[in-house]
Structure 1
Amino acid sequence: MAKPPAPKATGEKAAPEKATLTISSKTYSAWSLRAWLMCRMAGLDVEERTVPNDAANRAELLLLSPSVLVPRLTHKGASVWDTLAIAEYLNEQFPDAGLLPADPIARAHCRSISGEIHSGFTNLRSALPMNLKVTHEKFPVFSGARPDIERIETIWKECLQRYGGPFLFGARPTIADAMYAPVTRRFISYAVALSPESAAYCRTIAAWPPMAEWVEAALAEPEEMEELDVEF
């Protein structure tokens, strides 16, 4: 007869469940990048699960979510998708990480501009799709995307002047920087003419160690990975 497992020693705790972040292509998936940066900012060590966005993987994605959405964070029994939902979850779980500004007025501002990039700028998404493996010296920008670019520059200018930079809300990155990080790469990839302030902010994000790590991993992705038809 098999012996029952020995009882744990007093004070011994079970190993914590590993958090998992399900993402898509690092080269093309802006939403995956945002969620990954937020996890890094929160100090949450995640196991990455990469699920390319193709028909062969649709059934597997459906097991994760009826809405077939990535990124998805699994942590302590919670399953969270939608990037802003992940942001709020991480802020609740790690309140000392500074994902949102401490000042309530700045915090409301941060949430507002994060929501704006989350729900808008469709012309920019279409005209300048994220692709971390290309850098153009010149690129014709669709005129319909110009208002989006101007609005983003206005957001950045207001934040940098109001909070002193080098990040949007001061010396430390916040959720807003994670949300706008893919935009900085679009501007760099497609040689978008920017104001000196905006160009400096793009360089700040490019030099941000988690961002540099993601870009390096994207460059190492297999060339056969298909470009996403829809920007995530």
Structure 2
Amino acid sequence: MKLSTIFLSLAIASSVNSKNVVDLKHELTKRDGKNVVDLKQFKDSHKRELEQPLFEIPNPLPSSDKFYVPKGEEPQKGPTLLTSALYINKDVSLYASYVRDDVDISERFNNRDTQTIVFAPTDSSIETLSLKPWQFPTTVDETKSDAEIEQTISSNVKDFVLSHVVDGEVPFAALGGDKKGIQLISQNGKNIKLVNDEGNYYVTAVVNGQDQEWLKVNVVLNADNGAILVISKPLSVPSI
């Protein structure tokens, strides 16, 4: 099996402060979170490493039918910004709703000058989680005040969303023949690995130094300000 190399040029964005306002009653049917992490110093110190292959691709990867991945040099016809591309994709409507409810993330996805990679989990995969995104990683304590519960829910939602968001763009054209992949850092400081296997893309979260399940990227949608990679399971899952 021939394996290709992905190189990613990351554009470091300024840190995002949450201004999210959540309706608790509405949220308990669908919600999620926020982690506040200062990544500038960390990213600056690791930028050089992130521009190089960091690991050997595990062999074998899951077998699956191939799909066409656009090169990323020109946007596809249709929505030109990430927000529009997310909202019209019915398979990721839950994730899109979490993005829409967060002012800062929505502004980022509407910013034509900021490149962003989005790993968008499907609705069905979110619905099968043992806990809803608004319920983890911090447990919602119903004995707390409404304001404290609201803050926990909002924080959890943001954390889930940012676990799937990476600064920069996917360099689809920069592929090689070595059995290497690229390691990315999500907006909330989590490690993600992305590999290309002869046109099939796979992604995994790295938890406590260990690769989790390798997920095939089902669809790649390009926009003027980034790319959406639709995946069959979330990268952020409950620890229980």
TM-score normalised to the size of structure 1? 0.27
For the pair shown, the structure with the greater C-alpha radius of gyration is 1
Which structure shows the bigger proportion of residues in strand conformation?
2
Q: Which has the higher contact order (CA 8 A, sep 6+)?
A: 2
TM-score normalised to the size of structure 2? 0.26
Which structure shows the bigger proportion of residues in helix conformation?
1
